[in-house]
Structure 1
Amino acid sequence: MANANTNSIEGSEDVAVKVVNKRFEGLMAVRTKAIKGKGAWYWSHLEPILIKNPETNLPKAVKLKCTLCDAAFSASNPSRTATEHFKRGTCPNFSPVLKPISQLPPLSSPSSQHNNRKRSSQSQQAAGASSSVYPVNVVDLSRFTNELSFSPTPLAQVPGLNQQPLMLSGGKEDLGALAQLEDSVKKLKSPKASPRPSLNKEQVDSAFHFLADWLYESCGSVSFCSIEHPKFKAFLNQVGLPAVSPREFSSARLDSKFEAARMESETRIRDADFFQVASDGWKGKSCARGEESLVMFMVNLPNGMRVFQKAMYVGGGSVPSEYAEEVSWEIIRGICGNATQRCAGIVSDKYKAKALRNLEIQNHWMVNLSCLLQGFLSLIKDFVRDLPLFRTVTDNCLKIAILCDSKSQIRNSFRKFRLQGVEFARFIRVPPSKCDISKNIGPFVAMLEDILSNSRVLHLVVLDDSYKAVCLEDPNAREVVDMIQDVGFWNDVEAAHALVKLITQMAEDVEAERPLVGQCLPLWEELRAKVKGWCSKYNFAEGTVEKIVEKRFKKNYHPAWSAAFILDPLYLVKDVSGKYLPPFKCLKHEQEKDVENLITRLVSRDEAHIALMELMKWRSEGLDPLYAQAVQVKKRDPVTGKMKNANPQSSTLVWETCLKEFKSLGKVAVRLLFLHATSHGFKWNRSSIKWFFSQGHSRSGLERAQKLIFVAAQAKFERQDFSSEEEEDAELFGIMSGEDDMLNEVLADSSSMSDPFVKVFNPSVEEFEFCIVISSFAIIVERSFKQPASEGGCRLKFFRWWTSYFLHFSLYTCYTLVHSLWKDRLTCRQARLLLTAHQTMKKKGFLFVWHGSIVSSLVIL
């Protein structure tokens, strides 16, 4: 028994180390993306570091190190750490670049000065009462005295400060109306035009031009009607711009912008000898209207540029392949008319077996590819469906997740250990009951990550007394104990997660780098090598795994992969004689046949034998060593640190300049080597997709939506911006790991609550959150009656009846509010407000002393 416990503890320590390493790798990945420009600003100053145990030399924690002052912080909430350390002035070496407020036009009207004095005095009083409140509602005026165009008036100089306050029939609400009345009187006495920047017509036109660009590029996520918002009108007036109607942006300006973008697009396509069409979105993506999706058609040009062509709305359900084939052909005809031979091929995320294949048969000069990214993602689904490991891991993890989600005693144990200092990211998420994991692996991967990150607390929970009581009621709980204490279970979970992460990482690299068709075979070989390494690391037989990989490879394989790999000078191999020759040795016999057959198909019948002879010459002679080395020169990417080709278009340029003697083979090479292997364009916001669908009810609305999405897409291609604003916002606000993180902070910060209150109720998730709000409100009421906690509320006897009535009514209101919000879980903003309230109370030093009143109130409710 002791030996078993020792093994369990060692296994728990190993899992804890892996969790720490995983957290470190995740933070490094986020920091790498941020350095690229796709993340929060503070990652350029914060660096994740591993803290090792001096006795075992194993990592025990992850910290964030400030690169400016070498201070170390907890890595639980980087966004909050950055706010406190940088924006609150804690870091001595941080100097934000801000435009001083003194550069803005001064507010010199008497009424504004009066309001400023009023706000100044109120701010000073509030600062004196709650100077330690975090993170809102406090402004330190001393920090801005050098920047403001006016100085705050001392309290002693405010007239009437010690006089009796003015009493109005409407209460404090009438003070604002009174201030407006006095302001109007002062303006009538001394009329003065409010100072405002004076802009000439050229500056106004330029400003509205940039405003229009921003509206169009937001593509529906910002409503045109927002221009008429009173606050926006006030902003325009403040900066000296006249009011403008939304119709001006949705009609004439949009038409002119669309025509300019369309003409530029057509010119670029017309200048190219050939092009490739990319269609993305045939696979229905989840959105606000079920299975409806937005299919985008783009044009890839030989010079590496991409041009947007069209977006179309596809209704619910599966689209027939015949329809996709017809639409694709209409797109090609719309681009080049009858000169369809200019289209070198299509790359699509669906319909390889039928639609793309039929178009290839009907047009022998076309090379139609399936998206490489979709092939990698489909491989994950193949493993989940066909590999026995995933079936076992899925069943076991579902048992744990469902048990933890359904038993309030287990959830209470989680909270108890959190209050004792055991950190865990979130509660274990349970996939929906109707979710087919073989088709939608997102919930499955999320469940794996939650179980791995909660491994430490799970080991503690199953040893808790409350869990033993659950075991007496539920036999599944006893089975879960055996699984959690089994090292083999954790090895299987880690193995499944590692395999998914391995393929997902390669898919993310493919999505970011957008490889060409010649890179498909090397990428699949790299994937095979990584999968073999995974098999050896986790002691899995390679046979079953290799069969699954090969089956998916054959489904996505196209002969153009082999042909482009052979014809690309980037992959020439130096032999013993010093020649740089194509890597035919890397191909199988069937793939060599594919190369010959594809080349003969892409040329005319008269040139077929000439092309094969030139292929033999290319195989024996290769390329001049000097040019081959120049093509293969690589440089390190300063952002990712990876080695990349220094001259991306050199492969095609070599065939057009140095290898002119290969006339027939050269034609094939230049049409093949520029083809893209992926079809994805860029990520639209969900609000943009929803807006596009809402315009489909009318012809004019759909036409306007088409123009707007064309302008927005062209702008994204010009900026080479393929990211999503939603992801950037998530990184900015530090909620990439989900909204529950903020709730977990609320739970963690509630540790100052007295234990008897929690023990009396043994609360569930809803009750515990309710207790937090009730406790907060009780403290606020206590403060309103000026009964400090140090006196224990003894003087409340005189107000007992009225306080009891008021508190009971307020408790009921709070309960109704929290209950209605909790049905769909609290939003991030609501959770942030709860967290702010708790930090306020904790920093002010208030203690909760009304346990008896709260208990009676909850019983009544």
Structure 2
Amino acid sequence: MSDVNVNPVEPLCSGEEMAVKAVNKRYEGLVAVRTKAIKGKGAWYWTHLEPILIQNPETDLPKAVKLKCTLCEASFSASNPSRTATEHLKRGTCPNFGSPLRPISQLPPLASPSSQNHRKRSSPVQTGTSSSSQQFGFLGEMGYAPVQTATQAIVTHQQHLVLSGGKDDLDALAMLEDSVKKLKSMKGSPGPALSKDQVDSAFSLLADWFYESCGTVTLSSLEHPKFKAFLNQVGLPAVSRKDFVGEKLDSKFEEARVESEARIRDAAFFQVSSNGWGRDICNYGEDSVIKFIVNLPNGTNVFHKAVYKGGLVPSEYAEEVLRDTIKGLCGNVVQRCVGIVSDKYKGKALRNLEIQNHWMVSLSCQLHGFISLLKDFGRELPLFKTVTDNCFKIANLFNSKSQIRNHFRKFRQHGVELAGLIRVPSADCNLSKNYGPVIAMLEDILSYARILQLIVLDDSYKVSCIEDPVAKEVAEMIQDVGFWNDVEAVHSLVKLIKEMTDDIEAERPLVGQCLLLWEELRAKAKDWCAKFSIAEGPIEKIIDSRFKRNYHPAWSAAFVLDPLYLVRDASGKYLPPFKRLTHDQEKDIDKLITRLVPREEAPIALMELMKWRSEGLDPLYAQAVQVKQRDPVTGRMKIANPQSSRLVWETCLKEFKSLGKVAVRLLFLQATSCGFKCNWSFMRWVSLQGHSRVGMDRAQRMIFIAAHAKLEKRDFSSDEEKDAEMLTTANGEDDMFNEVFVDASSV
């Protein structure tokens, strides 16, 4: 009997225990989820919903889990917290969630006075105690006399309502209610609640983005209403532009400065690159800031400082700034700076620094040397002047004469996409001064070639030729095949040099590559002469003249000392390419090495150079240095390990003690000074701060942060260039014009 009485009870007790365990487990799970959410790792609504245990009054054991709203103390089932949050919080069931102006938001929807008057004539007015709770606004709650809503006041005359402004106040009250509704709609969908750490992290990232944009985003944009609305939508507080020019700016600057100085301090030697001394012929404007970048032996670049220029800089001032910069970087050990590269060759300044510091190599920027070559062609090659003058005549005629310009409308009616007027540079602008606007004009003339040929064949244009002799001259020019051949020749040569300058700017060649760059240019110029039947003599003369103006003995020395350019001879040795140098260039190498080493080591260094010339490098190491691999971005073959050339001299060629010191210093020197590019709107803003010490200090700090970030990512381009590249749709342009010309020929 005892067993019979006990057995039925045991399952029951076991079932209660399981139920209690399930309730507790559910409760603990919800508490854990809520704890994570409050820390910013979960849904937003957990800050307003709290799990609670419901006790059984008979047994004092938990029997259920519910969610309690911390705003209004209401309880709900815990089976679906997300649905509970949606129905109770988002849909306005909770009286305390959202705007504190809720009472006015519960009023009937407003309507215009005209519509209410129409309702007054067509339907009876509903009045009664059931709507009395809607007849009082928030004014009554604040202690003022009870006030009807503007809608009800307009509809009904049975109610006695007295406002200080009379009936005119009804419209104002309606506008007030509309404003309250708009404010509530903005606060009705708040973003997820974020923890303090998340907010701080978000604003740190926002500051990084703002500083690194370097002027693309203005300070005023941070207070734009739409941007503030965005921050509110994602749960972030509003920001002020003052927040980004105070402690946050100082903190970001200090962080970048400490990292930059540590890298410079760790390097045994370095090269100083300076950009912005003269007129920036790449961007057709005046650069107002000189930027100093430190090139390290491991191939990295570190931003040092920006100096406000304000105008053209005399050579004496350039020398002073460069000397102070070197001293600030090196302190008392000025031998750590082994080279300078500048965008504009401040002849006297750089030569003086090189003479005063015998271990130093002062170079002019190869990018600007190639760009200056275009100016040389415009000044010294008659073909360039002839083509430029003829294109001026065509552009001025079609842009200035309305009767002739109207011919373009016919082609637009047949679907031809024309950008507009032909871009014409100023009258005093030519290739010898500023090549940019002139090249733009040539490109427009070439793109309109077929259209121009069709226009001059039109009967109405022939009538214009009778009245205007210039129109007749232009028509003859456009129909002359020789003219188009000359335009194409000039444009082709400019395009050739422009492609090389783009490669130089992207690849940033070392000093040892300079001779090869000029050899490549000569070969391409020779092919160009053959293609367009142009004499080679004048072209070669111009190129040789510019080469001599930019040449430095370090080009030849780095070329023969770099294991990358060793050539295998018949015996299997890998020897330096002295055969590709002229006799004068070989003498330059001896003079340079003698100058770069201490006087007592000069004979030893020359003897080691002779040994290097006759023995070269072990074939196995030479082949390892010259290993190439395909660049996944450009598809070109590149050296697999660019640092191998320097490392070989530091590890495998230790017997060349004096020559090795020269080699490791020459092989890492860069041949260009182009650094990161500032946004032009920011540059103009910097110019405005020229007379404000505080403003200039903040501007320089922003430049430093932006430059540091760009150099970290090895991003030397500007945002304008990226946008232009994205918006350019040049592909297939010629095919489009060819198709249109067939249809336009029937006009």
Which TM bucket (shorter chain)? 0.7 to 0.9
Distance 2:172 2:478 in 1: 60
Native 8 Å contact 2:464 2:471 kept in 1: yes
Instruction: Please tell me the residue identity of whatever aligns with 2:478.
Output: I
Native 8 Å contact 1:219 1:712 kept in 2: yes
Q: CA deviation at 1:251?
A: 1.4
Aligned to 1:257: 252
Q: CA deviation at 1:728?
A: 2.3
Native 8 Å contact 1:426 1:450 kept in 2: no
Q: CA deviation at 1:415?
A: 1.6
Which of 465, 474, 478 aligns to 1:471? It is 465
Q: CA deviation at 1:472?
A: 1.2
Native 8 Å contact 2:515 2:555 kept in 1: yes
Relative to structure 1, the CA distance from residue 176 to residue 507 in structure 2 (aligned partners, 3 Å threshold; closer, same or farther) is farther
Please identify the structure whose Cα radius of gyration is greater: 2
Aligned to 2:496: 502
Answering whether residue 441 of structure 2 is matched by residue 450 of structure 1, we say no
Which of 191, 201, 204 aligns to 2:199? It is 204
Which of 473, 479, 488 aligns to 2:482? It is 488
Q: CA deviation at 1:250?
A: 1.4
Distance 2:335 2:348 in 1: 21
Measured against aligned partners, the alpha-carbon deviations of 1:266-318 in whole angstroms (never above 9, x if no partner) come to 110110010000000112238999745211011000011101011111123x3
Aligned to 2:376: 382
State the secondary structure of the residue aligned to 1:638: coil
Aligned to 1:417: 411
Distance 2:262 2:218 in 1: 31
Native 8 Å contact 1:109 1:194 kept in 2: no
Which of 197, 209, 214 aligns to 2:209? It is 214
Relative to structure 1, the CA distance from residue 208 to residue 587 in structure 2 (aligned partners, 3 Å threshold; closer, same or farther) is same
Distance 1:689 1:407 in 2: 38
State the secondary structure of the residue aligned to 2:307: strand
Instruction: Please tell me the residue identity of whatever aligns with 2:247.
Output: A
Relative to structure 1, the CA distance from residue 248 to residue 411 in structure 2 (aligned partners, 3 Å threshold; closer, same or farther) is same
Which of 573, 579, 590 aligns to 1:585? It is 579
Answering whether residue 267 of structure 2 is matched by residue 238 of structure 1, we say no
Aligned to 1:572: 566
Native 8 Å contact 2:190 2:233 kept in 1: no
State the secondary structure of the residue aligned to 2:361: coil
Instruction: Please tell me the residue identity of whatever aligns with 1:727.
Output: E
Aligned to 2:8: none
Within a 5 Å distance, the mapping from 1:165-564 to structure 2 comes to: 179-181=178-180, 195-285=190-280, 291=286, 293-316=288-311, 318-564=312-558
Distance 2:332 2:610 in 1: 35
Greater mean deviation of Cα atoms: 332-341 or 551-560: 332-341
Distance 2:92 2:719 in 1: 40
Aligned to 2:635: 641
Native 8 Å contact 2:278 2:287 kept in 1: no
Measured against aligned partners, the alpha-carbon deviations of 1:761-817 in whole angstroms (never above 9, x if no partner) come to xxxxxxxxxxxxxxxxxxxxxxxxxxxxxxxxxxxxxxxxxxxxxxxxxxxxxxxxx
Q: CA deviation at 1:229?
A: 3.1
Measured against aligned partners, the alpha-carbon deviations of 1:699-727 in whole angstroms (never above 9, x if no partner) come to 11111211121111101111111121122
Q: CA deviation at 1:108?
A: 3.7
Native 8 Å contact 1:294 1:312 kept in 2: yes
Measured against aligned partners, the alpha-carbon deviations of 1:191-226 in whole angstroms (never above 9, x if no partner) come to x97554111111111111111111211223323343
Distance 1:195 1:581 in 2: 72
Distance 2:432 2:192 in 1: 61
Q: CA deviation at 1:681?
A: 0.3
Answering whether residue 721 of structure 2 is matched by residue 727 of structure 1, we say yes
Relative to structure 1, the CA distance from residue 288 to residue 300 in structure 2 (aligned partners, 3 Å threshold; closer, same or farther) is closer
Greater mean deviation of Cα atoms: 323-332 or 196-205: 196-205
Distance 1:275 1:183 in 2: 61
Any gaps of 5 or more consecutive residues in structure 2?
Answer: 1-82, 100-104, 106-154, 156-166
Measured against aligned partners, the alpha-carbon deviations of 1:629-686 in whole angstroms (never above 9, x if no partner) come to 1111111112211111111111000100111111100000000000000000022111
Measured against aligned partners, the alpha-carbon deviations of 1:32-63 in whole angstroms (never above 9, x if no partner) come to xxxxxxxxxxxxxxxxxxxxxxxxxxxxxxxx
Q: CA deviation at 1:427?
A: 3.1
Any gaps of 5 or more consecutive residues in structure 1?
Answer: 1-101, 116-165, 752-861
Instruction: Please tell me the residue identity of whatever aligns with 1:362.
Output: Q
- How many positions carry a matched residue from both structures? 582
Distance 1:591 1:489 in 2: 42
Measured against aligned partners, the alpha-carbon deviations of 1:453-496 in whole angstroms (never above 9, x if no partner) come to 11100111001122112211211111111111111111111000
State the secondary structure of the residue aligned to 1:696: coil
Q: CA deviation at 1:428?
A: 1.8
Distance 1:644 1:224 in 2: 42
Native 8 Å contact 1:462 1:468 kept in 2: yes
Relative to structure 1, the CA distance from residue 390 to residue 575 in structure 2 (aligned partners, 3 Å threshold; closer, same or farther) is same
Relative to structure 1, the CA distance from residue 607 to residue 476 in structure 2 (aligned partners, 3 Å threshold; closer, same or farther) is same
Q: CA deviation at 1:736?
A: 7.3
Instruction: Please tell me the residue identity of whatever aligns with 1:338.
Output: N
Measured against aligned partners, the alpha-carbon deviations of 1:293-348 in whole angstroms (never above 9, x if no partner) come to 211011000011101011111123x3110110110010000111121110011000
Within a 5 Å distance, the mapping from 1:119-158 to structure 2 comes to: none
State the secondary structure of the residue aligned to 1:697: coil
Instruction: Please tell me the residue identity of whatever aligns with 1:363.
Output: N
Distance 2:404 2:728 in 1: 26
Q: CA deviation at 1:687?
A: 1.0
Measured against aligned partners, the alpha-carbon deviations of 1:391-411 in whole angstroms (never above 9, x if no partner) come to 111111111111111111221
Distance 1:508 1:648 in 2: 20
Relative to structure 1, the CA distance from residue 577 to residue 308 in structure 2 (aligned partners, 3 Å threshold; closer, same or farther) is same
Q: CA deviation at 1:254?
A: 1.4
Instruction: Please tell me the residue identity of whatever aligns with 2:619.
Output: P
Distance 2:282 2:616 in 1: 51
Which of 606, 618, 634 aligns to 1:612? It is 606
Aligned to 1:92: none
Native 8 Å contact 1:495 1:538 kept in 2: yes
Aligned to 1:687: 681
State the secondary structure of the residue aligned to 1:205: helix
Q: CA deviation at 1:529?
A: 0.3
Native 8 Å contact 1:287 1:686 kept in 2: no
Relative to structure 1, the CA distance from residue 109 to residue 727 in structure 2 (aligned partners, 3 Å threshold; closer, same or farther) is farther
Relative to structure 1, the CA distance from residue 634 to residue 467 in structure 2 (aligned partners, 3 Å threshold; closer, same or farther) is same
Which of 689, 699, 702 aligns to 1:705? It is 699
Native 8 Å contact 1:424 1:457 kept in 2: no
State the secondary structure of the residue aligned to 2:291: strand
Aligned to 1:848: none
TM-score (norm 2): 0.73
What root-mean-square deviation, in Å, do the aligned CA atoms of Structure 1 and Structure 2 show?
Answer: 3.2
Native 8 Å contact 1:287 1:690 kept in 2: no
Relative to structure 1, the CA distance from residue 172 to residue 421 in structure 2 (aligned partners, 3 Å threshold; closer, same or farther) is farther
State the secondary structure of the residue aligned to 2:689: helix
Aligned to 2:77: none
Instruction: Please tell me the residue identity of whatever aligns with 1:601.
Output: R
State the secondary structure of the residue aligned to 1:297: strand
State the secondary structure of the residue aligned to 2:378: helix
Native 8 Å contact 2:338 2:665 kept in 1: yes
Measured against aligned partners, the alpha-carbon deviations of 1:159-208 in whole angstroms (never above 9, x if no partner) come to xxxxxxx9x99999999765445678x99xxxx97554111111111111
State the secondary structure of the residue aligned to 1:311: strand
Q: CA deviation at 1:547?
A: 0.2
TM-score (norm 1): 0.64
